[in-house]
Amino acid sequence: MIRILICFAVVHDTENVLKSDWENLTSQNPGIEHSNMIIDTYDESALEYALQCKEMASKVTCPIHLTALTIGQSLSATIYQNLFAVGIDRVVLLKEKAPVSFCPSRISRIIHKFTCDERFDAIFMGQQNSITCNGQTGIRLSNLLNVPLISYVNDVVFINNKFHVKTKKRLQYTRAVIEQPAIYCFFNAERSYLRMATLREKLKVQSREIDVFDVDKTFDQQENEINLISLSYNPVTRNCQFINGQNAGEKAQVLLSLFMKD
């Protein structure tokens, strides 16, 4: 059996936020407490692709077990019952007393502690959260677990017990076959939304409960800490060469001559 861990965050639905809530953004936090709580959009992609991999594996008698993990103070029954209904096998809440927004170091250590207690062949997660937008959790977790990180994942299929991945690299896409274990961070994926469960599917799982663990000091041991020293940007430059000619035919002939010389 292949076991996949999907990490997801519950965030405010900013599409329902009023313009006035953002007016004092430079001096104070936005007043978005009234908005609904939803699963982060990038994490939705991670959940959906995990479900697709599970369906692909079932066709070749290679079962996949899916565990969805979130860190927070609570988790709405509407959210976790929908996860059970669409096919997630287990939902885990690591209960934290204080908010963990924009704490990638702490979040990665908590996930690392959980994964050390259980074996997972792959970890799916969103590239970053809609609000906190740090994008560091996957990198830090990769370092703690000493496993490869595949970032900016656009598509994943499960074939012959391997994950075939499509990732976005600047202006092009790259495809690769990945051996487990590895961490997959989804970003602007082809399937951006989690499937909807039917009423019948929800009724079947309405009695199921999530596993809740309190986050204590053992979940937050600061080992192998990563400190960000600096960030740099590698500019993309072009070396242009102008081709002279009276018309397109002459320019094509010059271009062909240069090509033949090379």
Residue 92, pLDDT above cutoff 90: yes
How would residue 240 be classed by pLDDT, with cut points 50, 70 and 90? confident
Q: How confident is the model at residue 212 (pLDDT cuts 50, 70, 90)?
A: very high
**What pLDDT score was predicted for residue 48?**
95
pLDDT digits (tens, 9 = 90+) for 148-157: 999 999 999 9
- Has residue 30 got a pLDDT over 60? yes
The answer to whether the pTM exceeds 0.75 is yes
**Which domains does the chain carry?**
2-219 (3.40.50.620)
pLDDT value at residue 22: 66
Rounded percentage of the chain residues whose pLDDT exceeds 70? 87
Name which residue leads in pLDDT, 124 or 135: 124
Note the pLDDT tens digit of each residue in 163-186. 999 998 878 899 999 987 899 999
Q: Please say if the pLDDT value at position 187 is more than 60.
A: yes
Confidence tier at 241 by pLDDT (50, 70, 90): confident
Residue-by-residue DSSP string for the chain? -EEEEEE--EEE-GGG--GGGGTTTTTS----TTSPEEE-HHHHHHHHHHHHHHHHHHTTT--EEEEEEEEES---HHHHHHHHHHT-SEEEEEE-SS--TT-HHHHHHHHHHHHHHS--SEEEEESS-TTT----HHHHHHHHHT--EEEEEEEEEEETTEEEEEEEETTEEEEEEEPSSEEEEE-S-SS-SPPPPPHHHHHHTTT---EEEE--GGG----S---------------------SSHHHHHHHHHHHHHH-
C-alpha 59: how far from chain center? 25
